[in-house]
């Protein structure tokens, strides 16, 4: 008997999230959250990455990556997290500050095929993240979704770059590790490993301006493509809880 003789599957297969035993009696499973792109979001557990479809992806993308969502230790920084009820298809995102409002709830459906009409590169969400990093002078990095350290990182932060014959000017600094991830950038310089387990990086800078923020998003999306990944396979990681 071969697999051709087996009856077809009825409905979607069980999700990875559904295999995790809830920690409490409410049936909720804690997950790490990726970028929202192509109408998909990745939910990360110890079993791996599970793709779901938010019913309103723009609403969910608007609260992630901008310092509003609760964070948890992911092993190489702090990632945003939520609580999903896999049976009801509801994702609950609590606020980073418990005093800043009630948790937000988002309806999800199972699905792993992206809709290329729904911001497939997460450019809108990344733009909000860049704007927030500039406004608050913060740093974030994109890493493959999962727990523990990763050799792949695409980081955004603000700083001051000195140019010859000019005053010190604020810049948006985008760093790709390893350097090959930033190989398609027109401008960029090689750096040294920031940590023992990291490879040589490539850094590009753009001015702090509306045009510079758009250019920073383009640098990030180009690096994601060069790495051979899709945005919903990457999660924002922050240096602070």
Domain ranges of the chain: 12-110, 123-238
Residue 198 confidence (pLDDT): 58
Which residues on neighbouring strands pair with residue 84, listed in sequence order?
Answer: 29, 91
State the Cα–Cα distance between residues 25 and 96, nearest whole angstrom.
Answer: 23
Give yes or no for a contact between 125 and 35, defined as CB atoms under 8 angstroms apart.
yes
pTM above 0.85, yes or no: yes
Does residue 17 register a pLDDT over 80?
Answer: no
**pLDDT of amino acid 8:** 40
Q: For 167-190, what is each residue's pLDDT tens digit?
A: 578 899 999 999 999 999 988 788
The residue whose two tokens read 């499973």 is 29
pLDDT in tens, 89-118: 999 999 998 777 889 999 999 888 999 999
């Amino acid at each position: 008997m071969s697999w051709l003789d087996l009856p077809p599957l009825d409905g979607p297969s069980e999700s990875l999230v559904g295999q995790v035993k809830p920690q409490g009696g409410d049936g909720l499973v804690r997950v790490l959250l990726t970028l929202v792109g192509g109408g998909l979001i990745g939910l990360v557990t110890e079993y791996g990455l599970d793709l779901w479809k938010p019913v309103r992806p723009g609403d969910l993308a608007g609260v992630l990556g901008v310092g509003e969502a609760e964070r948890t230790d992911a092993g190489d920084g702090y990632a945003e997290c939520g609580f999903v009820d896999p049976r009801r298809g509801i994702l609950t995102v609590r606020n980073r500050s418990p005093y800043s409002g009630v948790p937000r709830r988002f309806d999800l459906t199972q699905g792993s095929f992206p809709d290329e009409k729904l911001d497939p590169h997460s450019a809108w969400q990344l733009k909000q993240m860049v704007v927030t990093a500039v406004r608050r002078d913060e740093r974030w990095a994109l890493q493959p979704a999962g727990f523990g350290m990763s050799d792949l990182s695409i980081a955004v932060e603000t700083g001051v770059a000195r140019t010859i014959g000019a005053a010190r000017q604020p810049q948006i600094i985008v760093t790709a590790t390893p350097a090959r991830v930033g190989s398609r950038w027109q401008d960029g310089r090689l750096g040294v490993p920031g940590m023992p387990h990291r490879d040589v990086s490539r850094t590009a800078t753009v001015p702090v301006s509306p045009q510079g923020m758009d250019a920073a998003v383009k640098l990030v999306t180009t690096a994601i493509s060069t790495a051979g990944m899709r945005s919903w396979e990457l999660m924002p990681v922050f240096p602070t809880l």
